[in-house]
């Protein structure tokens, strides 16, 4: 056995568990086993866990006893049908190397006697050809705070359901040329700019962004509303600059664009960095969605940015609303412009819950 004796014995002087008291803390565990504080290296990319774990087991000759802990999930009642892409593993790779791996990152904890090329060789086992194939697919990421990275941020990747939204049927005619302009902007790697999509809840802003994600081979990164203020931090800019070919989504960002001053505005600070001395470092593409109308947006906040599209979503015209409703098999007569969500909610026979529904990435 290549590990120290009494591998899982409890050292009364070291609590190996995290604050949750259910998960093992890798650093504490490493100290518990090897008696030294480990070095730390984190690599963030899309990981095909099924293939990677199979390759690691074979090349590193891993057994079940090498898996220190597993956080596994199942999509159904069959406990043996594990959804590895939603799971996480803490693995004893070899003497003095422990790895924590999920579908979007691999974090290594290793001793002073380990050379860094040994870590790089392990990363190569995570199927770089598969990573390249995955990177060519469109996907959606969410920014989280993290104590494991130098910047304090990390990405969590998600797969969105295919969105076959037909623009001509679901939006008014004046949006059709705007859609073409947005798609051309997103696909132009060298173009920098800001897209503003605003209007009442239920007019189709988020549905359209989901449609964009499924139609282009780009990484879309959502910054939650609760984190919008952090874009003024230099550490956030340095973090996001590593994803220069991505599209940033700021959802429900009314607080950045409505009734705000330019002096301490986080968005203005971010744009000043992006368009100033660091313009050669970061080619930014930002999509801001908000519920405000055009006249409520503070023009001073966006004056210095390169505005690509500024479009206000409104109720679907009476004629289009009637046709869309008919396409759903409804015989209802529509005699006024109608919010898109109302038509879809009627299709789903969910009228009672319509007022309580909010369209967004969190639904």
What is the Cα–Cα distance from 85 to 92, expressed in whole angstroms?
20
**Alpha carbon distance, N-terminus to C-terminus of the chain:** 49
pLDDT of residue 134: 46
What is the Cα–Cα distance from 363 to 361, expressed in whole angstroms?
6
pLDDT of residue 39: 92
Three-state SS sequence of the chain:
CCCCCCCCCCCCCCCCECCCCCCECHHHHHHHHHCCCCEEEEEECCCCHHHHHHHHHHHCCCCHHHEEEEECCECCCCCCCECHHHCEEEEEEECCEEEEECCCEEEEEECCCCCHHHHHHHHHCCCHHHHHHHHCCCEEEEEEECCCCCCCEEEEEECCCCCCCCHHHHCCHHHHHHHHHHHHHHHCCCCCEEEEEEECCCCCHHHHHHHHHHHCCCEEEEECHHHHHHHHCHHHHHHHHHHCCCEEEECCCHHHHECCCCCCCHHHHHHHHHHCCCCCCCCCEEEEEECCCHHHECHHHHCCCCEEEEEEECCECHHHHHHHHHHCCCCCCCCCCECHHHHHHHHCCCHHHHHHCCCCCCC
Asked if 140 and 157 count as a contact pair (C-beta separation under 8 A), the reply is: yes
- Residues in Cβ contact with 306 at an 8 Å cutoff, skipping those fewer than 6 apart: 192, 193, 194, 275
pLDDT of residue 346: 78
What is the Cα–Cα distance from 90 to 24, expressed in whole angstroms?
9
Pairing outcome for strands 88-94 and 67-71: antiparallel
- Tens of pLDDT, residues 77-102: 666 667 777 788 999 999 999 999 98
Sorted by where each begins, the domain ranges of the chain are 26-136, 138-363
Dihedral sign from CA coordinates of 12, 18, 23, 28: negative
Asked if 204 and 313 count as a contact pair (C-beta separation under 8 A), the reply is: yes
pLDDT average per 10 residues of sequence, the chain (363 residues): 44 62 82 90 82 88 90 69 78 94 89 88 74 53 79 79 84 94 90 89 91 84 88 83 83 80 75 69 83 74 77 93 88 90 76 43 49
Distance of alpha carbon 341 from the chain centroid: 24
pLDDT of residue 8: 42
pTM over 0.75, yes/no = no
What's the token pair of residue 165? 């939204």
- Tens of pLDDT, residues 313-359: 999 999 999 999 888 888 889 999 999 988 888 776 544 443 444 44
Q: Tell me yes or no: is domain 138-363 CATH 3.40.50.2000.
A: no
């Amino acid at each position: 056995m290549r590990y120290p004796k009494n591998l899982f014995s409890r050292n009364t002087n070291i609590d190996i568990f995290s604050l949750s008291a259910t998960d093992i803390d890798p650093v504490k565990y490493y100290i518990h086993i090897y008696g030294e504080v480990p070095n730390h290296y984190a690599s963030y990319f899309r990981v095909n866990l099924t293939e990677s774990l199979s390759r690691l087991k074979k090349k590193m000759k891993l057994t079940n006893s090498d898996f220190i802990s597993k956080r596994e999930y199942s999509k159904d009642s069959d406990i043996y049908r594990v959804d590895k892409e939603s799971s996480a593993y803490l693995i004893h790779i070899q003497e003095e190397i422990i790895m924590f791996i999920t579908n979007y990152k691999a974090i290594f904890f290793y001793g002073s006697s380990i050379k860094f090329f040994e870590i790089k060789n392990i990363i190569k086992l995570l199927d770089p050809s598969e990573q390249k194939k995955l990177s060519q697919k469109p996907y959606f990421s969410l920014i989280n705070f993290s104590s494991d990275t130098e910047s304090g941020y990390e990405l969590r990747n998600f797969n969105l359901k295919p969105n076959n939204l037909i623009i001509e049927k679901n939006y008014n005619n004046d949006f059709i040329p705007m859609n073409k302009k947005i798609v051309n902007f997103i696909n132009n790697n060298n173009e920098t700019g800001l897209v503003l999509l605003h209007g009442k809840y239920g007019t189709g802003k988020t549905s359209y962004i989901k449609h964009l994600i499924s139609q282009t081979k780009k990484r879309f990164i959502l910054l939650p509303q609760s984190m919008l203020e952090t874009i003024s931090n230099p550490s956030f800019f340095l973090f996001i600059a590593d994803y220069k070919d991505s599209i940033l989504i700021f959802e429900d960002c009314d607080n950045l664009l409505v009734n705000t001053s330019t002096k301490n505005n986080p968005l203005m600070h971010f744009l000043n960095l992006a368009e100033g001395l660091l313009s050669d470092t970061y080619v930014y593409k930002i999509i801001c969605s908000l519920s405000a109308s055009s006249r409520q947006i503070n023009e001073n906040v966006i004056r210095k940015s390169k505005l690509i599209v500024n479009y206000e979503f409104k109720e679907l015209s009476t004629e289009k609303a009637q046709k869309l409703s008919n396409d759903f098999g409804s015989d209802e007569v529509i005699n006024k412009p109608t919010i898109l969500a109302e038509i879809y909610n009627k299709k789903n026979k969910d009228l009672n819950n319509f007022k309580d529904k909010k369209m967004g990435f969190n639904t």
